Amino acid sequence: MRVWITLRYLIARMTFFALRIPLKRFEKEVSRLWADASMDRLCHIDECLAKIRPIGSDGEQVCSLVELEQQSPLTKKELRERKFESQSGFSRHTAGTSGEPTNISLSNEELARMLAVRSYCYQKHGLRLGQREARIWGRAENTLGSKVRDFLLNRKVFYPAEKDAEKVVESLIDWRPEYLYGYSSLILEAARIIVEKGLRPEGIKAVICTAESILPSQKEYIGSAFNAPVLEEYGSTEFDVIAFECKSGHLHLVNPWLWVETRKGEALISDVSRASQSLIRYRLGDSFVMSSSECRLLGSQWVISELHGRTINQFAYLSSTEKFHAVVFGRAVDAYMSLFGDCFRFMVRQTNYRSFDIYLSETPRQGSEHFEAWLGSELRAKLALDDDVELEFNIFTGDQLMKKGKHTYFLQEIIEVAHGY
């Protein structure tokens, strides 16, 4: 078994080599760039821009950081309408959660840079790119092409949902992955089945959660089920990994070729090395707060201290003028799960002032009424609401009712607000 595992790792590494993806070179480069002091980083960004000369949204060449910061933000729509500056070898496509499809095309070097950043993050946690990966994703494509690709890249896709979820989780454990990578919600489902059936996975070095928001109590639950550290990744189709968790739990910026800014809380991202497409002050549609940490364990000292998710979904409204940040829901549910030793997925949808539809993946152990009452009093306390303010909750339970959110557990669907703010 051990020989086979090593052989599969070597095949995966040789696949990158055979595809002429200069992974090794960029792996060294990423480590070298992050080892430098921060002033050198600014010089490096300037040097890259002077060489690549990407086009800003105003149609002018951007040759320095000063010029970059004068550009207007680039929207997804503008990017879509642009012609590719060159046609490249690899393409990534996303349907987009906001109904905005994005097409990204990458050269071998650009793909190598993305993979090198991923590899750098993995190495800091004792993992290697090309190790046996269980990908907890949607249903696996049943084509020869995808089977060959998954074999070469040493990974297998598992979809622990719907009727055969238990069998899928058993086969996942039998497959003996070295690490797990995938959607937080599906990993949480797998963890629940492991706990319920008393299964004991062995040899898993890490569980990497991506694409969806996850609460500290949910991470703890997953960690104890898989007996492995749980690491959060924040990324996008356009840039792959943007931030990754260090051993102290910070979400560090990790791609040395990305210049990340926030404007009114909204993320603007520039890739200073991308020649096939100009991505300058690109509006990703996410919102977060960055802060500088003293931590040097991974990437930049700049970390994402609060990830708020999709920009339009940030606020809950009590009236047309009174609003509160939806993170209050996340904190309340997290506190509930810690307090009552429970674990479930949830989604809040607001369609009217002071009224919230709450979707739970299953009935809380103490019952839905208990949860509803507790949540009501917690929100009243946290928001310091007057006694005459009434909140209405409609609780729905059942996995099939849950919408798949990206980086968010809150959907704002009051029509007037959606157009008025």
| Surface-to-core class of residue 406, CB atoms within 10 Å of its CB (0-12 exposed, 13-18 middle, 19+ buried) | middle
The residue sitting closest to Zn ion, measured at its beta carbon, is 295
Q: Strand 90-94 to strand 102-106: parallel, antiparallel, or no bridges (unpaired)?
A: antiparallel
Smallest distance from Zn ion to CB 248, Å:
4
CB of 227 or CB of 305, closer to Zn ion: 305
CB of 267 within 8 A of CB of 239?
A: no
Smallest distance from Zn ion to CB 247, Å:
7
CB of 248 or CB of 291, closer to Zn ion: 248
CB of 70 or CB of 292, closer to Zn ion: 292
CB of 332 within 8 A of CB of 382?
A: yes
CB of 65 or CB of 295, closer to Zn ion: 295
CB of 124 or CB of 283, closer to Zn ion: 124
| Residue with tokens 């102290």, as numbered in its chain | 248
Smallest distance from Zn ion to CB 245, Å:
8
Smallest distance from Zn ion to CB 408, Å:
24
CB of 373 within 8 A of CB of 379?
A: no
Binding site for Zn ion (CB under 5 A): 246, 248, 250, 295, 297
Q: Which two structure tokens, joined as six digits, stand for 186?
A: 């599906």
CB of 191 within 8 A of CB of 226?
A: yes
Smallest distance from Zn ion to CB 82, Å:
36
For 359, list phi and psi in degrees, rounded to 5. Answer: -100, 130
Burial call 82-115: b when 16+ CB within 10 Å, e when fewer? eeeeeebeeeeeeeebeeeebebbbbbbbbbbbb
Cα–Cα distances in angstroms (integers) from residue 246 to residues 34, 37, 296, 300, 349, in the given order: 14, 19, 9, 11, 32
Smallest distance from Zn ion to CB 226, Å:
22
Smallest distance from Zn ion to CB 135, Å:
26
CB of 86 or CB of 248, closer to Zn ion: 248
Smallest distance from Zn ion to CB 92, Å:
28
CB of 135 or CB of 250, closer to Zn ion: 250
CB of 50 or CB of 295, closer to Zn ion: 295
The C-alpha atoms of residue 235 and residue 131 are separated, in whole angstroms, by 20
DSSP per-residue string spanning 337-378: HHHHT----EEEEEEETTEEEEEESS--TT-HHHHHHHHHHH
Dmax (CA) of the chain: 69
